[in-house]
Amino acid sequence: MYKSLAYKEWLKVRWFFIGALLIETVFLFSLFINLRALLEFNAARDIWNSIVVKKYVYFNQIKFIPLILGFMIAVAQFYTEIQDSKLKLTLHLPLKENSSLLFMVGYGFILLLILFSFLVIALIIGSSVVFPAEIVKAMLLTIGPWLLAGFTVYFVVANLFIEPLWITRRAVILIVGAEFISLLLLSKGYAAYKNILFPLTIITMIFGYIILLAGFRFKRGAK
Amino acid sequence: MIITSRIARYLLIFLTVFILAAIVSQYYWMAFEKAIFPPKVYYSPISENFVITKIRNRRYYIQDKEGNNLTRKDFEQLLPFITYKQLLYKGIMPDTIQNIPVDIHKIRANSFSIILKPKEITAYHIPLAPLIESAPNGPDLQLPDDMFRITNRIEFLNCQTNRINEEKSKLFSEVLTKKGFVFPAKKMFGNPSVRKSFDEGYFIIDSKDQLFHLKRIKNKPYCKKITLPKGVKIKFMKIRELNMKEFYGIAVSENNRLFIITYDNYKFIELPSEGYKSSEMQIKFTGDLLYRVLTLSAKDSVISFAMNKNYKVIDNFFEKWEGNNKTAAGIFFNNFFPIKFSLTDRNNSNVNFYLEYNYTFIVNIILTIIALFVLLKYFKRKPVTQILDLAIIIFTGIFGFVAVLLIRDEN
């Protein structure tokens, strides 16, 4: 059953997934070509100095990429599901309660994990060529909350699609989600979130768990 | 399913409470916060009294310590070491100040102003730094082509190739080890800028909390172990190369004591630090030909010490004012909203959960009673199942009230 469910999810998201990979590749290219030009036309010591002393964030272009990817995958997976309440069929598959919905959300989560890993690994490799480990580590601590924002967007948008109740629930999820995402994207320089990355990760996962509540009401057909 | 949805509901309520608190804290204070500009404190060599400028109720005041109002003209004439340009322009610069003949070059060389904000102390630094050549061939300082890190030895990384310069790393590591440095370094403080007239390198704290001074002179290491005063653990140092060459910078200790480290064989001179808290107070340390003024300002008070050139306190000035908590908006906030929540703080450069909880008893109780009424009458629930909901409102007041009533239990 899960195998066919996975196949169904793949059919829905495959073009979006490939599109997401393309977007990442384009932005990574632009980032590294830009970096190459910077290093070509300036002394390397000036670039290092502006990063270390003046806290210039050389990878700022990719700040909103996780958001875009999270949104894309959520739309791909759940937009078709809510047309003519198709999700109801999925939820009535002979599986344990919640399992099919959890499976779908988990599937999307893993796709995002793959997309973000690609992004992070490319950034690590690209940065390590020209910068020492200290700068790479600062880069990772800085993009951490951006990636969490990407997962949160995915969970929140999925939730908005599944949720049948307009004012009370959708509005609440939208406001709470949007504010949380904006709190993850404050421009505070390198590694500003380092002390609270773990609790923020837990909160992000809570957004994933809350989707079950929407699924529960969807199944019941709440209006 | 019922259990799952109950747990999910309470998690959502929990998030909603804090997000509402964050939104309200931010926009409420954006709308009602009154800007408070701490007074600026100077010490006049003419009247031998403080001169204070401040903004109160959108009006600008210049006063002396006793609170007498002064004019702009008085201000200029009382502080010739600051306003010398203006006085020269008007042709009213005195010939002597306290029997010292006025020499513009001397005034300039002996004036300084150093500000240390709490944010600087908490800021994250990428643990790399350029070691500038302190004895350059020309008149200007230049950024080196490498940066150093201090792990289990000191390593110089060439910026162009991103590779370690073994020869230089060995040379510097050996000297540090010989001086008793225990790797790795805990913290290092310097002023990595080339827009200054000379360079004093870095003050480095090793893993045993010992302090070292490291400089690069003619590409050779200069390293000196510095004896710390007894019981002092350094938290932060602000290094500033001043032309007068009296001290290297300001040091803040773990227990909020303040020192300057002098050129006189790294002698520590303690500055007055009564009531100083590095996490919330700004230091302003200024000096001229005759006096030093140290001003410690918090969000609702300021204390200034005037010292002579031997760092003996000769006078002090203290002022306290009412902060935003005492305005009508502040009183309303504190009695109506139980949680003040933000991820940022003006005095800290790190993002964190900055939470202030104050129990708004009356409002919480009223809201709980309203909620009880609403839940029983409109949602027709047995009171027993609502106890947790009501408990949330009792503790989180208005935020819990909104969250509980918006996010209803639907079992």
Residue A131: which of B12, B124, B162 has the nearest Cβ? B162
Q: How confident is the model at residue A100 (pLDDT cuts 50, 70, 90)?
A: confident
Q: Tell me which residue of A109, A79, A105 sits closest to A212, measured CA to CA.
A: A105
Residues in A closer than 8 angstroms to B159, CB to CB, are: 43-45, 47-48
C-alpha distance from A169 to closest chain B C-alpha (Å): 7
Q: What angle do CA B96, B98, B103 make, to 5 degrees?
A: 40
Query: Containing H/E element for A66?
Result: helix A65-82
Q: Is B130 in contact with A49 (Cβ distance < 8 A)?
A: yes
Residues in B closer than 8 angstroms to A97, CB to CB, are: 1, 4
Provide the pLDDT for residue A98. 72
Q: Is A52 in contact with B124 (Cβ distance < 8 A)?
A: no
The answer to whether the CB of B308 falls within 8 A of the CB of B293 is no
Query: Containing H/E element for B52?
Result: strand B49-56
Helix (H, G, I), strand (E, B) or coil at B51: strand
Helix axis angle, B387-406 to B2-32, nearest 10°: 60
The answer to whether the CB of B180 falls within 8 A of the CB of B226 is no
Locate B9 and state its tokens: 């509901």
Nearest chain A residue to B191 by CA distance is: A53
Residue A209: which of B8, B192, B351 has the nearest Cβ? B8
Residue ranges covered by each domain of chain B: 2-34+328-406, 42-108, 112-287
C-alpha distance from A44 to closest chain B C-alpha (Å): 5
Most confident of A216-220, B97-101, B163-167: B163-167
Q: Is B3's Cβ below 8 Å from some Cβ in A?
A: no
Q: Is B1's Cβ below 8 Å from some Cβ in A?
A: yes
Nearest chain A residue to B145 by CA distance is: A45
Locate B317 and state its tokens: 């000035």
C-alpha distance from B119 to closest chain A C-alpha (Å): 12
Q: Is B192's Cβ below 8 Å from some Cβ in A?
A: yes
User: Mutate which of B19, B24, B120, B165 to disrupt the A interface (most A C-beta within 10 Å)?
Assistant: B19
Q: Measured between alpha carbons, how far is B189 from A125 in angstroms, rounded to an integer?
A: 30
C-alpha distance from A15 to closest chain B C-alpha (Å): 32
Mean pLDDT along residues A48-57: 95
Provide the pLDDT for residue A95. 67
Query: Containing H/E element for B188?
Result: strand B185-190
Question: Rg for chain B (alpha carbons), in Å?
Answer: 29
Mean pLDDT of chain A: 90
Pairing of strands B301-308, B291-297: antiparallel
Provide the pLDDT for residue B381. 61
Q: Is B350 in contact with A192 (Cβ distance < 8 A)?
A: yes
Q: What percent of chain A has pLDDT over 90?
A: 70
The answer to whether the CB of A130 falls within 8 A of the CB of A38 is no
Q: Tell me which residue of B356, B353, B354, B355 sits closest to B334, measured CA to CA.
A: B356
With a cut of 80, say whether residue A60 has pLDDT above it: yes
C-alpha distance from B95 to closest chain A C-alpha (Å): 43
Provide the pLDDT for residue B374. 82
DSSP for residue B69: B
Q: How confident is the model at residue A50 (pLDDT cuts 50, 70, 90)?
A: very high
Q: Is B11 in contact with A206 (Cβ distance < 8 A)?
A: yes
C-alpha distance from A62 to closest chain B C-alpha (Å): 20
The answer to whether the CB of B278 falls within 8 A of the CB of B256 is yes
Q: Which amino acid appears at position A91 of this protein?
A: L
In Å, how far from its chain's centre is CA B292?
Answer: 20
User: Mutate which of A46, A179, A190, A194 to disrupt the B interface (most B C-beta within 10 Å)?
Assistant: A179
Provide the pLDDT for residue B410. 67
Q: What is the number of domains present in chain A?
A: 1
Residue A179: which of B23, B145, B193 has the nearest Cβ? B23
Mean pLDDT along residues B342-349: 93
Q: Is B15's Cβ below 8 Å from some Cβ in A?
A: yes
Q: Is B15 in contact with A206 (Cβ distance < 8 A)?
A: yes
Beta carbons within 10 angstroms of residue B58's beta carbon = 6
Burial of A14 from C-beta contacts in 10 A (0-12 / 13-18 / 19+)? exposed
Provide the pLDDT for residue B130. 96
The answer to whether the CB of B345 falls within 8 A of the CB of B354 is yes
User: How many A×B Cβ pairs under 8 Å?
Assistant: 129
User: Mutate which of A41, A49, A184 to disrupt the B interface (most B C-beta within 10 Å)?
Assistant: A49
pTM exceeds 0.95, yes or no: no
Residues in A closer than 8 angstroms to B124, CB to CB, are: 138, 189-192, 194
Mean pLDDT of chain B: 93
Query: Containing H/E element for B43?
Result: strand B40-44
C-alpha distance from A113 to closest chain B C-alpha (Å): 23
Pairing of strands B154-158, B146-150: antiparallel
User: Mutate which of A52, A186, A196, A218 to disrupt the B interface (most B C-beta within 10 Å)?
Assistant: A52
What is the domain range of residue A121?
A: 2-220
> What's the complex ipTM?
0.91
Q: What is the pLDDT of residues B187-221, one digit of tens each?
A: 999 999 999 999 999 999 999 999 999 999 999 99
Max CA pair span of chain B: 89
Residue B156: strand pairing partners: B148
Q: What is the pLDDT of residues A144-174, one digit of tens each?
A: 999 999 999 999 999 998 887 766 788 999 9
Q: Is B8 in contact with A48 (Cβ distance < 8 A)?
A: no
- Structure-model confidence comparison of residues B169 and A220, the more confident one: B169
CA torsion angle A170 A172 A178 A179 (round to 10): 180
C-alpha distance from A14 to closest chain B C-alpha (Å): 30
Please report, in angstroms and rounded to a whole number, the separation of the first and last CA atoms in chain A: 30
Residues in B closer than 8 angstroms to A173, CB to CB, are: 12
A188: phi then psi, degrees, rounded to nearest 5: -120, 20
Q: Is B344 in contact with A186 (Cβ distance < 8 A)?
A: yes
Q: Tell me which residue of A211, A218, A208 sits closest to A165, measured CA to CA.
A: A218
Q: Is B149 in contact with A43 (Cβ distance < 8 A)?
A: no
Mean pLDDT along residues B166-193: 96
Q: Measured between alpha carbons, how far is A171 from A176 in angstroms, rounded to an integer?
A: 8
Q: Is A176 in contact with B157 (Cβ distance < 8 A)?
A: no
Lowest-confidence pick of B31-40, B117-126, B212-221: B31-40
Residues in B closer than 8 angstroms to A203, CB to CB, are: 15
Q: Is B159 in contact with A193 (Cβ distance < 8 A)?
A: no
With a cut of 60, say whether residue A223 has pLDDT above it: no
Q: Measured between alpha carbons, how far is A63 from A68 in angstroms, rounded to an integer?
A: 10
For the four alpha carbons of A133, A138, A144 and A149, in that order, the dihedral sign comes to negative
Residue B114: strand pairing partners: B285
Q: Is B146's Cβ below 8 Å from some Cβ in A?
A: yes
Locate A28 and state its tokens: 């990574």
Provide the pLDDT for residue B407. 86
Q: Tell me which residue of B203, B167, B207 sits closest to B185, measured CA to CA.
A: B207
The answer to whether the CB of A163 falls within 8 A of the CB of A214 is yes
The answer to whether the CB of A31 falls within 8 A of the CB of A62 is yes
Provide the pLDDT for residue A215. 79
Q: Measured between alpha carbons, how far is B367 from B373 in angstroms, rounded to an integer?
A: 10
